[in-house]
């Protein structure tokens, strides 16, 4: 009986260890990202500066000179009423300022998300060859499907997927994340955007 109880206890502990704990993602960070833009129909790389406390994000796309495409440097300010978007075209050097009608996009585990497991990116073979991550998913208020991957240590975003429908989705991979904002002037609109 004692052995059986011990066995059950160990089994229960093993099951619980598979359920990742909700964690709090960093409130401010900078990162290189890879992003599949289904609206424009191509994959692009960019640098992101993200400040959740003040609800502001800057996304500076990397210009691929071999491609005849428009690339943008976009500043999203949600801390003004209404929010503002400064969209600077890196090719034409024209800036367009519009009101923001969307809510601030947070890179964190939302309340509606369920834990979908704990995994290793890479391999567990040797120390340093893998990174332990947790996977979360759920449905947003507006009916979109969301899934996110976060590192187990530090709760740093690794991947963020926002799926409106089969043809319209946003997939972001985060690389080389640094915590905090190196220079807060990244949240000042480019001078080309000022009247
Ligand atoms: C937000 O809505 C206003 C008014 O409907 C529109 O002029 C503006 O272009 C919209 N902004 C964005 C970023 O879609
Ligand atoms: C998918 O969502 C996009 C953006 O909301 C919309 O423009 C498009 O018509 C939708 N496509 C389908 C097949 O529902
Ligand atoms: C921050 O960036 C601005 C604009 O690029 C620059 O003028 C300033 O020297 C930078 N500050 C620091 C501390 O690097």
Question: How confident is the model over 91-145, as pLDDT tens digits?
Answer: 999 999 999 988 999 999 999 999 999 999 999 988 889 999 999 999 998 899 9
Taking Cα atoms as reference points, which of 72, 29, 46 lies closest to residue 173? Answer: 46
**21-53: burial string, b at 16+ Cβ within 10 Å, e else:** eebebbebbbbebebeebeeeeebebbbbbbbe
63 by Cβ neighbours in 10 Å (0-12 / 13-18 / 19+) ranks as: middle
Per-residue pLDDT tens digits for 16-65: 556 788 999 999 999 999 999 888 888 999 999 999 999 999 999 999 88
Domain membership of residue 22 (yes or no) is: no
Range of the domain at 182: 28-193
Domain membership of residue 66 (yes or no) is: yes
Ligand 2 centroid vs 145 CA: distance in angstroms? 14
Return the sign of the alpha-carbon dihedral for residues 44, 165, 141, 120.
negative
In this prediction, residue 14 carries a pLDDT of 47
State which H helix or E strand residue 73 sits in.
strand 72-77
User: Does any ligand 1 atom lie closer than 6 A to the CB of residue 73?
Assistant: no
pLDDT higher for 151 or 65? 151
Average pLDDT rounded to a whole number, residues 163-174? 92
Q: What is the CATH number of the domain that holds 150?
A: 2.50.20.30
User: Does any ligand 1 atom lie closer than 6 A to the CB of residue 74?
Assistant: no
Give ligand 2 pocket residues (Cβ under 6 A). Answer: 164-165, 167-168
Ligand nearest to the CA of 165: 2
The protein residue with its alpha carbon nearest to ligand 1, atom 9, reads: 98
Domain membership of residue 136 (yes or no) is: yes
Q: Point out the ligand 2 atom lying closest to the alpha carbon of residue 165.
A: 1
In this prediction, residue 110 carries a pLDDT of 96
Give ligand 3 pocket residues (Cβ under 6 A). Answer: 183, 185
Ligand nearest to the CA of 169: 2
Taking Cα atoms as reference points, which of 149, 169, 72, 168 lies closest to residue 107? Answer: 149
Greatest Cα-to-Cα distance within the chain, rounded to the nearest angstrom: 80
User: Does any ligand 1 atom lie closer than 6 A to the CB of residue 185?
Assistant: no
Tokens of residue 10, six digits: 């160990």
In this prediction, residue 66 carries a pLDDT of 87
Average pLDDT rounded to a whole number, residues 77-90? 96
Taking Cα atoms as reference points, which of 83, 75, 48, 5 lies closest to residue 160? Answer: 48
In this prediction, residue 70 carries a pLDDT of 93
Ligand nearest to the CA of 184: 3
The protein residue with its alpha carbon nearest to ligand 3, atom 7, reads: 185
Q: How many domains does the chain have?
A: 1
Entry pTM: 0.85
In this prediction, residue 113 carries a pLDDT of 97
User: Using the 8-state DSSP alphabet, how is residue 157 labeled?
Assistant: E
pLDDT band at 195 (very low <50, low <70, confident <90, very high): confident
CB 77 within 8 A of CB 83: yes
Residue appearing with tokens 């093993």: 14
- Residue 182 above 80 pLDDT? yes
């Amino acid at each position: 009986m004692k052995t059986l109880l011990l066995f059950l206890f160990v089994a229960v502990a093993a099951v619980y260890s598979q359920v990742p704990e909700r964690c709090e993602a960093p409130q401010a960070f900078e990162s290189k990202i890879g992003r599949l833009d289904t609206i424009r129909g191509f994959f692009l790389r960019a640098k992101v500066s993200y400040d959740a406390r003040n609800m502001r994000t800057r996304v500076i796309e990397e210009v691929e000179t071999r491609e005849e495409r428009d690339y943008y440097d976009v500043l999203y300010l949600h801390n003004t009423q209404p929010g503002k978007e400064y969209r600077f075209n890196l090719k034409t050097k024209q800036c367009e300022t519009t009101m923001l009608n969307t809510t601030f996009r947070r890179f964190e585990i939302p309340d509606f998300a369920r834990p979908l497991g704990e995994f290793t990116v890479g391999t567990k073979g040797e120390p340093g060859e893998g990174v332990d991550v947790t996977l979360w998913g759920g449905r947003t208020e507006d009916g979109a499907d969301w899934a996110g991957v976060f590192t187990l240590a530090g709760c740093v975003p690794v991947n963020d997927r926002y799926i409106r429908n089969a043809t319209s989705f946003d997939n972001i991979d985060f690389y080389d994340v640094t915590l905090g904002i190196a220079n807060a002037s990244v949240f000042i609109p480019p001078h080309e955007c000022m009247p």
